[in-house]
């Protein structure tokens, strides 16, 4: 028999006509540093207490996860779930574990209490250091564009960071509250990635999900900042839908997703043109790819590993883009542009691209933002795009560039 700490507790499923008041927000309110929190459009998860880590060895990641889930089930857990983060470098150790105690509730967006106002962050004396500086980043973009015109590669995603240092301890629960309540229909997470380190953020991009035989991927590529002026905001959205540069960038990513998923599916539907999705700070070109899985033995995590990294976070050709990133970015991406999510012993799960995030370590936050660079890219515009993407997290901590 499983012990009380080994039992996952599940709130009643969401009823669109009668949403469960407080079920999801109670998990958001219950988060404490060291817990594992993940909110998706399908569910809200909060794991706490001792966990069974997924080991790092030479076996493929999905095999290691399956073995860890099997061990948890053999130890008495009736419905074990793995939750955590996978780094950009697939050879680096992942931060995945099977928690002993897991609470699951309906999605945040179905909880009426998510609409309640959240406190505005107080003025903080953040010390902000860009790595690299905007001018250096723009020069890196220009160099990459020049190499593309020479035919070396067709796309690369280049990132930059902001290092924020606080004189006071970081209030991670308050940051998570503001991120979740600002975009409750997205993917919000706070996950431990090491001793006293937490990956926290709010991503708009689903890498892949699996429910039974049904597979969904939602690649995003091609972006523009939102405007507080309604007319200008609509104009920017319409311009993005017709942008030759952004449509090309998006098509490269969608084609890569199609090619990666096709061997695993009997049917795959790929819309001919993208639509738009919006966050609080950005418009994105979006395509929802749906399919039917060929084998029930192919888990959501196996599909995620087949897809990662897509051209949306790396570039194409992948090997060349990785080299350009290593040559250009003066930092280790770590879990940025990796994957966060959950998976169960049946193979179902949701795995999300790790963007709009920061890593908290002590009193320091490292924020990440990247832009897809193609031959038509302009260094100033790409630098401005990364600045706009930083706004998601800067607003959550009361900091400004």
Active site residues per annotation: 155, 205
Show Cβ contacts of residue 187 under 8 Å, excluding neighbours closer than 6 positions: 38, 39, 40, 41, 202, 203, 204, 205, 206, 340, 350, 352
Quote the CA–CA distance of 39 and 106 in Å, as a whole number.
Answer: 9
Residue 53: φ, ψ to 5°: -70, 150
Provide the edge-to-edge strand list for the sheet that holds 282-286: 220-225, 282-286, 275-278
Tell me how far the alpha carbon of residue 204 is from its chain's centroid.
7
Residue among 256, 263, 244, 259 at smallest CA distance from 220 = 256
Sign of CA dihedral 99, 102, 106, 111: negative
Show Cβ contacts of residue 63 under 8 Å, excluding neighbours closer than 6 positions: none
Q: How many Cα atoms are found within 13 Å in the side-chain-facing hemisphere of 211?
A: 6
Coil, strand or helix at 383: helix
Residue among 144, 164, 115, 172 at smallest CA distance from 390 = 164
Residue among 195, 219, 224, 163 at smallest CA distance from 393 = 163
Report yes or no: 388 and 240 within 8 Å, Cβ to Cβ: no
Where are the alpha helices (H) located in 90-199, listed in sequence order?
Answer: 134-149, 172-182
Report yes or no: 246 and 235 within 8 Å, Cβ to Cβ: no
Residue among 114, 140, 87, 159 at smallest CA distance from 19 = 114
Quote the CA–CA distance of 65 and 348 in Å, as a whole number.
Answer: 13
User: Maximum distance among all alpha carbons in the chain?
Assistant: 65
DSSP 381: H
């Amino acid at each position: 028999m499983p012990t009380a700490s080994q039992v996952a507790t599940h709130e009643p499923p969401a009823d669109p006509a009668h949403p469960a008041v407080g079920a999801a927000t109670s998990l958001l309110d219950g988060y404490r540093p060291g817990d594992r929190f993940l909110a998706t459009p399908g569910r809200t998860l909060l794991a706490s207490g001792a966990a069974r880590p997924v080991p790092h060895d030479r076996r493929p990641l999905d095999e290691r996860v399956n073995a860890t889930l099997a061990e948890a089930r053999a130890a008495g857990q009736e419905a074990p779930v793995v939750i955590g983060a996978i780094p950009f470098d697939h050879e680096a150790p992942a931060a995945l574990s099977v928690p002993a105690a897991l609470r699951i509730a309906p999605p945040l967006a179905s909880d009426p209490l998510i609409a309640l106002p959240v406190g505005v962050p107080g003025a903080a004396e953040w010390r902000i250091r860009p790595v690299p500086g905007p001018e250096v980043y723009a020069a890196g973009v220009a160099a990459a564009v020049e190499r593309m015109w020479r035919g070396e590669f067709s796309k690369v995603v280049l990132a930059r960071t902001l290092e924020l240092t606080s004189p006071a301890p970081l209030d991670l629960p308050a940051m998570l509250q503001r991120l979740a309540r600002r975009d409750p229909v997205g993917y919000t997470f706070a996950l431990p990635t090491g001793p006293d380190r937490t990956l926290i953020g709010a991503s708009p991009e689903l890498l892949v999900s699996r429910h039974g035989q049904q597979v969904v991927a939602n690649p995003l590529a091609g972006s523009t900042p939102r405007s507080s002026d309604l007319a200008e905001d609509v104009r920017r959205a319409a311009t993005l839908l017709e942008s030759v540069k952004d449509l090309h960038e998006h098509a490269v990513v969608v084609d890569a997703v199609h090619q990666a998923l096709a061997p695993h599916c009997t049917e795959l539907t790929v819309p001919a043109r993208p639509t738009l999705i919006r966050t609080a700070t950005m418009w994105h070109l979006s395509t929802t790819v749906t399919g039917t899985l060929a084998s029930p033995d192919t888990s959501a995590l196996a599909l995620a590993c087949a897809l990662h990294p897509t051209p949306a976070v790396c570039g194409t050709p992948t090997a060349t883009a990785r080299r350009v990133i290593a040559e250009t970015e003066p930092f280790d991406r770590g879990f940025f542009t990796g994957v966060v999510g959950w998976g169960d012993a049946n193979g179902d799960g949701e795995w999300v691209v790790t963007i709009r995030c920061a890593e908290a370590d002590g009193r320091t936050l490292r924020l990440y933002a990247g832009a897809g660079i193609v031959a038509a890219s302009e260094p100033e515009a790409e630098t401005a795009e990364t600045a706009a993407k930083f706004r998601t997290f800067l607003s959550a901590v009361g900091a400004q560039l």
